[in-house]
């Protein structure tokens, strides 16, 4: 009788994990586990005080938060690893200083070096064969230095826009060169990575979409008769929510029954609330804070469409979830969004244009219900075909097992 193969031991590294806005990482990990991977979750810190979803809370308990061990423990473990790897350490120190110089943060990169050495020791102790980092920012920095210190081979997923805003300061060229492969979540994202990578490394830059669990999206609820929209995301500058409030004010003058639900939270909440008050929009806008996945799906079912006023994006998972719920999308024509939102699944408008957003709301209001429903069906079909988490995780699994040649 043949002995079953043991699961492939890999690790994921994220700076802060889990977070309400990072459920796509959890889904990806769980899909890999179904494909016979044993996945160790590493994060520098937790966001548990902000977690509402029971699945996120359970994921938090499964994650090893390195900095919670204490600075002295991390430093002691790092120094121990470096002393046991005297030939690798000088090159890793030089890389940390070089990357720190580009970022103007040499001291911070020495902290990353210590974290990397501690992580290398943990990976060795756990028998980790591959380390995958999410985001090309400091998680990729730590993973790259970990490899230089004798840790496991590694890869990373970039999402944007942070990586594309500061490619030199983030040493993207060096990280792409050092990784087994690099993942972009859209063709647009891949193009931006190619801009900063050596031509010889372009074949190692792959597209693996973020995925949704189709089982969570049964037959869509009927499109409501009232003009209701939903917007979902963190309340910070790049999401464009203050501009959306201006668009709502303009559209509400023509559509007194308009209502928009804003799901999320963040540093701009106070400013957004002040704008709602100053424009007397309390009747038209509801702020819910962060909701659980089930609650978000309920809000999507109560809306005619999702609206995304973003100034900068990667490829937002909320658009996928709305489309899977049978809802068309109004979005700005930026980054990877035109790859997802097409003429038969929604409306694209220029970024930074409140009047264009208001005009798109007018168009939605004038669209017959049967046409909105048909667009929702097309949206659902498109996202199921392109963003099934099991299909995308299988692509990532091939890359992890076979490196860049997969």
CATH topology of domain 215-386: Rossmann fold (3.40.50)
- pLDDT, average across residues 353-367: 98
Q: Is 11 exposed, middle or buried (0-12, 13-18, 19+ CB in 10 A)?
A: buried
Q: Residue 292's pLDDT band (boundaries 50, 70, 90)?
A: confident
DSSP E strand boundaries for 216-268 = 228-232, 259-263
CB 115 within 8 A of CB 143: no
pTM: 0.91
Residues written for the chain: 406
Token pair recorded at residue 112: 């990353």
∠ at Cα 323 (246, 28), nearest 5°? 110
Q: Residue 3's pLDDT band (boundaries 50, 70, 90)?
A: very low
Q: Where in the chain is the domain with CATH 3.40.50.2000?
A: 8-211+388-405, 215-386
Q: Residue 402's pLDDT band (boundaries 50, 70, 90)?
A: confident
- pLDDT, average across residues 59-82: 96
Helices 106-126 + 71-84 axis angle, to 10: 70
Token pair recorded at residue 361: 């709301």
CB 37 within 8 A of CB 10: yes
For residue range 193-234, list pLDDT tens digits in order.
999 999 999 999 999 999 999 998 989 999 999 999 999 999
Q: What pLDDT is stored for residue 403 in this prediction?
A: 53
CB 341 within 8 A of CB 319: yes
Q: Residue 52's pLDDT band (boundaries 50, 70, 90)?
A: confident
- pLDDT, average across residues 313-323: 93
Q: What pLDDT is stored for residue 390 in this prediction?
A: 96
Q: Using CA of residue 264, residue 265, residue 268, residue 272, what is the dihedral sign?
A: positive
Q: What pLDDT is stored for residue 4 in this prediction?
A: 46
The torsion angles phi and psi of 134, rounded to 5 degrees, stand at: -105, 125
Q: What pLDDT is stored for residue 404 in this prediction?
A: 43
Compute CA 80 distance to the chain's CA centroid, rounded to the nearest angstrom.
34
What DSSP character marks residue 388? B
Q: What pLDDT is stored for residue 315 in this prediction?
A: 92
Q: Is the pLDDT of residue 6 over 60?
A: no
Q: Is the pLDDT of residue 143 over 60?
A: yes
For residue range 177-194, list pLDDT tens digits in order.
999 999 999 999 999 999
Q: What pLDDT is stored for residue 96 in this prediction?
A: 98
Q: Residue 20's pLDDT band (boundaries 50, 70, 90)?
A: confident
CATH topology of domain 8-211+388-405: Rossmann fold (3.40.50)
Token pair recorded at residue 288: 């819910």
For residue range 231-286, list pLDDT tens digits in order.
999 999 999 999 999 999 999 999 999 999 999 999 999 999 999 999 999 999 99
∠ at Cα 324 (319, 325), nearest 5°? 100
Percent of the chain with pLDDT over 70: 97
Token pair recorded at residue 357: 């957003």
Q: What pLDDT is stored for residue 164 in this prediction?
A: 94
- pLDDT, average across residues 310-333: 95
Residue closest to 179 by CA, chosen among 151, 160, 159: 151
Which residues touch 319 (CB under 8 Å, ≥6 apart)? 306, 308, 329, 331, 337, 340, 341
For residue range 89-109, list pLDDT tens digits in order.
999 999 999 999 999 999 999
Please state, as a whole number, how many other Cβ atoms lie within 10 Å of the Cβ of residue 298.
13
- pLDDT, average across residues 370-386: 97
Rounded alpha-carbon distances, angstroms, from residue 128 to 122, 295, 302, 372: 8, 36, 45, 49
Percent of the chain with pLDDT over 90: 91
250-279 as b/e, with b when 16 or more CB fall inside 10 Å?
Answer: bbbeebeebbbbbbbbeebbeebeebbeeb
d(CA 330, CA 327) in angstroms, rounded, equals 10
Q: What pLDDT is stored for residue 7 in this prediction?
A: 67
SS (HEC) of 262-283: EECCCCCHHHHHHHHHHCCCCC
- pLDDT, average across residues 365-383: 97
CB 285 within 8 A of CB 245: yes
CB 202 within 8 A of CB 208: no
Q: What pLDDT is stored for residue 2 in this prediction?
A: 45
- pLDDT, average across residues 47-71: 93
- pLDDT, average across residues 366-387: 97
- pLDDT, average across residues 164-169: 96
Token pair recorded at residue 334: 């930026």
330-350 as b/e, with b when 16 or more CB fall inside 10 Å?
Answer: bbbebbbbebbbeeebbbbbe
In 54-185, which residue ranges form alpha helices assigned H by DSSP?
54-62, 71-84, 89-103, 106-126, 138-148, 162-165, 172-178
């Amino acid at each position: 009788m043949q002995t079953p193969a043991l699961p492939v031991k890999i690790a994921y590294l994220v700076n802060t994990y889990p977070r309400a806005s990072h459920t796509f990482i959890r889904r990806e990990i769980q899909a890999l586990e179904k494909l016979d991977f044993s996945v160790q979750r590493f994060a520098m810190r937790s966001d548990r005080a902000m977690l509402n979803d029971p699945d996120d809370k359970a994921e938090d308990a499964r994650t090893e938060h390195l900095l919670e061990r204490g600075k002295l423990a991390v430093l002691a473990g790092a120094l121990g690893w470096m002393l046991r790897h005297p030939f690798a350490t000088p090159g890793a120190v030089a890389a940390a200083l070089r990357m720190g110089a580009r970022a103007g943060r040499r001291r911070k990169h020495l902290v990353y070096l210590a974290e990397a050495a501690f992580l290398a020791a943990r990976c060795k102790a756990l028998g980790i064969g591959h380390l995958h980092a999410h985001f090309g920012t400091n998680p990729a920095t730590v993973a790259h230095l970990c490899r230089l210190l004798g840790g496991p081979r590694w890869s990373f997923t970039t999402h944007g826009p942070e990586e594309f805003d500061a490619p030199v300061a983030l040493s993207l060229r060096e990280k792409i060169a050092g990784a087994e492969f690099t993942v972009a979540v859209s063709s647009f994202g891949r193009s931006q990575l190619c801009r900063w990578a050596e031509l010889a490394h372009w074949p190692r830059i792959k597209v693996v979409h973020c995925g949704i669990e189709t089982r969570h999206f049964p037959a869509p609820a009927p499109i409501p008769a009232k003009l209701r929209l939903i917007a979902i995301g963190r309340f910070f500058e790049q999401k464009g929510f203050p501009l959306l409030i201006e668009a709502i004010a303009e559209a509400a003058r023509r559509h007194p029954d308009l209502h928009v639900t804003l799901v999320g939270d963040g540093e701009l909440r106070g400013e957004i609330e002040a704008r709602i008050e100053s424009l007397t929009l309390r009747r038209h806008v509801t702020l819910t804070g962060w909701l659980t996945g089930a609650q978000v799906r309920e809000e999507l079912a109560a809306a005619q469409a999702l609206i995304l006023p973003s100034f900068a994006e990667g490829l937002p998972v909320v658009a996928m979830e709305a489309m899977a719920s049978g809802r068309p999308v109004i979005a700005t024509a930026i980054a990877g969004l035109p790859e997802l939102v097409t003429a038969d699944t929604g409306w694209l408008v220029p970024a930074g244009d409140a009047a264009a957003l208001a005009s798109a709301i007018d168009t939605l209001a004038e669209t017959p219900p049967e046409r909105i429903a048909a667009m929702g069906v097309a949206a659902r079909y498109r996202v199921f075909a392109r963003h099934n988490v099991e299909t995308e995780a299988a692509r990532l699994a091939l890359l992890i097992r076979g490196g860049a040649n997969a």
